[in-house]
Amino acid sequence: MTKRKIIIDTDPGIDDTYAIIAALSYAGFDVLGITVVAGNVGLEPCVNNALGIVKLMDADCKVYPGAEGSLNQLREESGYELKTTVHGESGLGSVTLTPDLTKKSDTHAVDFILETVKAHPDEVEIISLGPMTNLALAIEKDRNTMKQVKTIWSMGGGVHLGNRTPVAEFNYWFDPEAVKETYDLGEDIEINMIGLDITHQTQITLDDLFFLRTECGEIGQILSRIAEHYQDMYWKFIKQTGVIIHDLVAVMTAIDPTLTDKFDILVGVNLQIETEGICKGQTVVQKHQSLFAEAGLAKNANVYMDIDPIAFKKAFMKLCFPEAYDDYRRYILKEKHG
C-alpha cells in the first residue's frame, strides 16, 4: 500500500484527540508531523496534549509548535485571549496525558509545513482540525510552495449552522482572516470543508461512551473520560446528552470520503467568510457557479453536507478498536448477525 503523506494541524482539544488517534491508527496514512496552533486552549497546553497523544499511541512523528493566537492577535501582539470552558482548562477536561518531550521539535510549525511540502510537492495532504492560522502564515511566507499542497481537509465552518455564535463555527470564528487567506488558495489546490452541517449528524451517544470505557482498553477509557467534560458542556448549554466529536468526522471523511454520498458534496463552489461584525466567522457558500462566475468569484471549495452516521461510527470503531468491533455492532447498534 502506498501511504498518503499527512500533516495534522490541530489545537487539541477533546475532539482533536479522537481525530488524531484515528489518523495515527490508519495504516494508509503516513503522518509526517503534527503542527499545533492555539485555539481550544492556549498554545502550550495544546502542544502538551499533542505530545501526550503521540506518547499514548507510540507514534513515530514529531510535534511542531506554531501560532500562539489568531493573525490579528499576532499582529497586535496581544497574545491568546480566548476564555472558554468547553474543553476545560487543560483542553482535555479532567484528563492529563503525559507528554513525550523528546517528540517536541524546535522547528516552527510554519517552517515544517513549507519544508515538507517542498520535499514532497503535490503529495502532502493537510488535515486542519483547528484555526487555520498556521496555514495562513505559511501562505504569507511562501505562497508558491503552498500551491503544491495536494489537499486540505478542514474541520470548520457551516452552511446553515453555527456553534460559537448563531452563524459561526468556532475554528473559523477564532481566526476568520486566516480562513480567508487559506480559501484564497482554493483556486489552485483542493480544499474540502467538513463543517457543522455534517458533523452534527454524528452524535456519539452515552451508550457509545460506556462501551469505549468498558470494552476498548486504555485508549477507550481515556476517550470516554475526556468526553465526560464535553458531555457536561453539551448538557449545560443545549440540554443534549451525548457529544459531537467534530474533528473525528474530518479525519474519517479524509480516510473514506464514501461515508458521504457524492451527491451530498457541493463540488467546486465559492466560499467566502465574514471577518468582522456580528457575523464574524460566518461562511457564505455560493452553490450556483453561473452566478458566482459572473461576479468574478472563484471555485475555491468542496463542501461536505451529509454523512451516514452509523457507517461513520462503525468505521471509527473498526479502525481504532477492531477487537471490540463485533460486540459494538451486536450490543450497541443491535445489529443481527446473519
Q: Which of 11, 16, 197, 247 is catalytic?
A: 11
Residue 295 CB contacts under 8 Å (≥ 6 apart), including other chains: none
Kindly state the cell numbers that stand for 122.
Answer: 503535490
For residue 229, is pLDDT > 90? Answer: no
**Model confidence at 82, in pLDDT bands (50, 70, 90)?**
low
**Model confidence at 11, in pLDDT bands (50, 70, 90)?**
very high
Mean pLDDT value across residues 271-276: 97
Superfamily, domain 4-205+243-308: Ribonucleoside hydrolase-like (3.90.245.10)
Looking at residue 236, its pLDDT comes to 87
The whole model's pTM is what?
0.96
Looking at residue 233, its pLDDT comes to 83
Q: Where are the beta strands (DSSP E) in the chain?
A: 4-10, 29-36, 62-65, 124-128, 151-155, 190-194, 203-204, 243-244, 265-273, 283-286, 301-304
CA distances from 155 to 101, 228, 250, 297 (A): 27, 22, 6, 23
Domain ranges of the chain: 4-205+243-308
Looking at residue 60, its pLDDT comes to 95
For residue 290, is pLDDT > 90? Answer: no
Looking at residue 73, its pLDDT comes to 92
Looking at residue 83, its pLDDT comes to 62
Q: Which of 55-69, 107-121, 128-142, 222-236 has the lowest mean pLDDT?
A: 222-236
What's the chain's average pLDDT?
A: 94
Mean pLDDT value across residues 167-186: 97
CA distances from 89 to 17, 19, 45, 300 (A): 15, 20, 9, 36
Active-site residue 326, yes or no? no
Active-site residue 11, yes or no? yes
> Cβ distance 47 to 38 under 8 Å?
no
For residue 211, is pLDDT > 60? Answer: yes
3 state SS of 261: coil
Q: Measuring CA to CA, which residue among 204, 74, 54 is closest to residue 131?
A: 74
The DSSP secondary-structure symbol of 204 reads E
- DSSP per position, 80-133: ------TT-SSSSTT--PPP-GGGB-SS-HHHHHHHHHHHSTTTEEEEE-S-SH
Looking at residue 88, its pLDDT comes to 73
- Residue 132 exposed, middle or buried by CB count within 10 Å (0-12, 13-18, 19+): buried
For residue 24, is pLDDT > 70? Answer: yes
State the virtual CA torsion across 196, 200, 203, 204 in degrees, nearest 10: 10
Q: Which of 16, 208, 246, 247 is catalytic?
A: 246
Mean pLDDT value across residues 53-65: 97
